[in-house]
Each structure stands twice: as C-alpha cells, then as structure tokens.
Amino acid sequence: MGLLDGKVAIVTGGGNGLGEAYCKLFAQEGAAVVVNDLGGARDGTGGSISAAQKVVDEIKAAGGKAVANGDDVSTMEGGQRIFQSAIDAFGRVDILVNNAGILRDKTFSNTSEADWDAVVKVHLKGTYCCTMPVWNYFKDNQVKGVIVMTSSTSGLYGNFGQSNYGAAKAGIYGFMRVLSIEGRKYGIRVWGLAPGAFTRMTSDLPGRKDREPDPMSLPERIAPGVLYMVSDLSGDQSGKVLGVSSRGVREIKMLQTKGFNPTAPWTAQDLADHAGEVFFADEDNRVVA
C-alpha cells in the first residue's frame, strides 16, 4: 500500500529538479501524476514538452501512471488546461503542487521591468492560475484536497539580488495563508514550502558553482517533506510553511514580540525608550529590526 494510492496529483514544473523528484515519489506511492513543464530555459524563454514527457516515460517504465502537459502556468488558459489534463486522463484531482518557476537574478537597480514582470508572472500569477480551477473543483465536489504553494527563504527572509523573486515568493506566502483560512470550511488543506536544493535553478549560485553538491541537498532528499504534506501522515495540518533543505526540516512562522502597549498618547521618544520590548534581539542581545 502506498501513501497516495488512488490519488491524482498535478505537479507544475515537473520536468526537472524538485518537480521531477516530487512526480516520481508520488508515483511510487501510488498516485497518478500530471507532469506539467513548459520546457523552457531557467529564465523562462523557450519551451518543449520533452522534459515532461521524459519524466512520464520513466514513471511508466517503473509501473506508474502519468501524463505530460506542456502548458504555461502563468495564464488562466494554461492553468485550466493543466487541470483538465488530470480530469481527462484520470477523472479527478486530489493534490496540486505549485512548483514551476524561473529566475532572473539581478541587483534591484539593474532589474528591468521585463525581468520583474516575468518572474512575478510565473511564480505569483502562475500559482493563482493553476490553483483557481483546482480550488473550485475541490469546493464544488467536496474533495478534501491538498495544495502546496512554493515560497522561498528569499521571500520570507530576503536575499541579495532577488528583489523580483523575493517579492513573488513573499506574495505566495500571503496567498497561502488566506486560502488556508478560506479552505477550513471545505476541508481543503493549503501548505507553504520553502525548499533548499541543488538544482539547475541554483547550481551556479555563489558557493555552489564548480562544487560537488551536498547529497542531502539533492531533490530526492527534499521530496519526502512534500510527500508528508500531501499525504494523510500530516493529518489536518494547514496554513503552515515547512522549510526543507540539507539542514533538515523546520516550520517557519511569522512571530511578533510582546510589544509596547501604551495606555495614553505616546511619542516617538517613548517608542525609542521601549525598543527592547518592540523589537526582537539577536544572539548578542542587540536590538535588531
């Protein structure tokens, strides 16, 4: 018995890297999988269904069920066709993993409008476009499905040279939180994922180029975290962000301090005087923003 027996999963960006690892693990655990991949370059240019088809062929050769889809996640038409691929091939949908993404990293002053729009469109709008038809299907058919939205520490913490990517990933976090609240009455679970892996998207980042990857950072070492999220092993958990990387698995949360709670009109100087209550302190007990 597999953890996903009888389930149907859609994985966007499933032709390489993390998405490929998710597709293969889901299939091993009994799911039928729609492998979506535009097949373009890392910056989003070009396109071919060959990447998705290769993953499908490997899943089928191992005895699993899968179909390839090459639609663009960043359009409503593409999102609808990706959903329809699952319905046409397998008759239902239970799981959606929004994984597709591109990179156009530059410092902010060197980021063009085209670079900004392309990255935000694929990551943030793409998550919206693919989620909408699946969400409505879950609601209308009383399917207690699971949706995983891929955020990033670049959006949750920030990262040099990734203003476009970080903004999109932070937006995905907010999107996930809202849908986790709206999904409660329908039994729809929504997760956030902040993965750290060695893939073609990250292989030439500072400190990684020309170095052998840490075996624990390979996509197949990240995929079990996502399997946990979409399977019954995670129970009714929703609205949470898991950070999954070579450093382990951890929940990432937004927190607030006890704060300064005045009972009368207050001034900026009062705030400065109570900064230790308002701001978190670092390990050296220095106030940090």
Could you give the residue numbers annotated as active site? Answer: 165
9 close to 230: Cβ distance less than 8 angstroms: yes
236 close to 256: Cβ distance less than 8 angstroms: no
151 Cβ contact partners less than 8 Å away, ≥ 6 residues apart = 169, 170, 172, 173, 176, 192, 193, 194, 241
Name the helix (H) or strand (E) containing 226: helix 219-230
Q: Can you read off the two tokens belonging to residue 189?
A: 């679970």
Q: Residue 30 — left, alpha, or beta (φ > 0 → left; ψ -120 to 50 → alpha)?
A: left
Nearest alpha-carbon partner for 126 in 86, 176, 72, 194? 72
Residues 114-123: b if buried by 16+ CB within 10 A, e if exposed = ebbebbbbbb
**DSSP state letter for 16:** S
- The type of residue at 26 is F
* SS3 assignment, position 147: strand
- Can you tell me the distance from the alpha carbon of 245 to that of 158, in angstroms, rounded to the nearest whole number? 17
